[in-house]
Chains A and B, each alone.
Chain A
Amino acid sequence: EVQLVQSGAEVKKPGESLKISCKGSGYSFTNYWIGWVRQMPGKGLEWMGIIYPGDSDTRYSPSFQGQVTISADKSISTAYLQWSSLKASDTAMYYCARHSGSSSGTDYWGQGTLVTVSS
């Protein structure tokens, strides 16, 4: 069974760093892209970026380039999303999702990680 399991909710202060994770299982982790999506409270879905764990090829949405870093460790089938200095406006639910890179699209999603940034 394909699963993407994300790390738990985080409460952080502005200026702190954070790395959240997304662990894949039940499929060949290196053969699919992993994308990250932000959903701010009460708002829609925003694509942040995507990584191919096989070779760590990474793409960023222009809106998030320089604001976050996406990485992956294929030895443990885990992708990461990290911030070096959080802002209150980073408060949101973050989802990872598996993507084939072809027409079959984005078929499996993690359960989401809620990040709250507050002083």
Chain B
Amino acid sequence: DIQMTQSPSTLSASVGDRVTITCRASQSISGWLAWYQQKPGKAPKLLIYDASSLESGVPSRFSGSGSGTEFTLTISSLQPDDFATYYCQLYNSYPTWTFGQGTKVEIK
């Protein structure tokens, strides 16, 4: 089974900072990669699908990139509403899902 490893596990940043979260697959993926934001007590929210496609309604400061085994989520200018936990998800057409372990973005 493919394992998805996110880094860092925790990230401390300030409002206005550029933030990058990485998701690495244990082998080259056959499928697609999504990114989610989750706030305490809430369901995850889809931000990016197919590695780089921005979900409708998501602010353009969020972007995704990557292919093969390495993917990144970038927040170009961190806003107060962005402090949350972020997860990557590998999914395919079978379909099966695999989540990364999460990255918590904290206020510095």
Contacts and interface: CB of A to CB of B under 8 A. Distances in A.
B94 A105 contact: no
A105 B1 contact: no
A62 B44 contact: no
Contact of A104 (B43, B49, B100): B49
A105 B100 CA distance: 16
Contacts, number: 69
B24 to A, nearest CB: 16
A103 B44 CA distance: 18
A43 to B, nearest CB: 8
Interface string A63-106: 00000000000000000000000000000000101010111111
A19 to B, nearest CB: 20
Nearest to B32: A103
Q: Could you say which interface size class chain A belongs to?
A: 20 to 34
A110 B46 CA distance: 13
Given A95-B44, A107-B46, A59 B94 contact: yes
Nearest to A95: B43
A109 B98 CA distance: 16
Interface of B: 1, 32, 34, 36, 38, 43-46, 49-50, 53, 55, 87, 89, 91, 93-102
6 closest pairs, A vs B, by CB? A105-B49, A109-B43, A47-B97, A103-B50, A45-B99, A44-B102
